[in-house]
Amino acid sequence: MTVVTRWSLVVLIGACLCSGVTLACPTWPESIGVDFWNYSHYNRQVDEFQRQDEVMGQTQTLVQNRIAKKEAIILDLIESRIQLEDAIQAFWKMNNTAPNLMSVVRHCYPGDSDWEKLGHNVIDHVSARMKHTSYFPNGRIQELEAELELLKCQNQLSLSNVE
């Protein structure tokens, strides 16, 4: 037997073994990634993953922008450059660009109305920001809670009028 014949026989036996295993367990080529006949399927998957990545990138940009805007509002509120009512209205405008945000606020915060729940949300943001920084004035949280109660009692804030 020549060398070529021996190698041909080895290749033939290997091919027969692979065929037999494939018949016995048809999913093994896919599980080890040798199912080259599904190449177009994999291309479609890659295209779909790329589209999902683009959408996630856009969503991430929107979320980062929203966080930056809210952070600026919170800093203005902490330093008394704006009133609580203004902060609530600004949060309302931003939260309405993503409908699921208001449903989260409604679920997580107490209150009889959306503006009251947003007021608690704004105060929570202020509280979280103040925990990480030492230069903000003491008692600001209590002032904001009192301001929220005053707004609630006077029923001055109506989010339905906010554009």
Instruction: Identify whether the C-beta of residue 94 lies closer than 8 Å to the C-beta of residue 73.
Output: no
The tally of CA atoms less than 13 A away on the side-chain side of residue 82 is 17
Q: How far is residue 88's CA from residue 103's CA, in Å, rounded to a whole number?
A: 16
Q: How far is residue 2's CA from residue 71's CA, in Å, rounded to a whole number?
A: 79
Indicate whether 159 pLDDT > 60.
Answer: no
Indicate whether 161 pLDDT > 50.
Answer: no
Chain mean position to CA 53: 13
Query: Band of the pLDDT at 139, cuts 50, 70, 90?
Result: confident
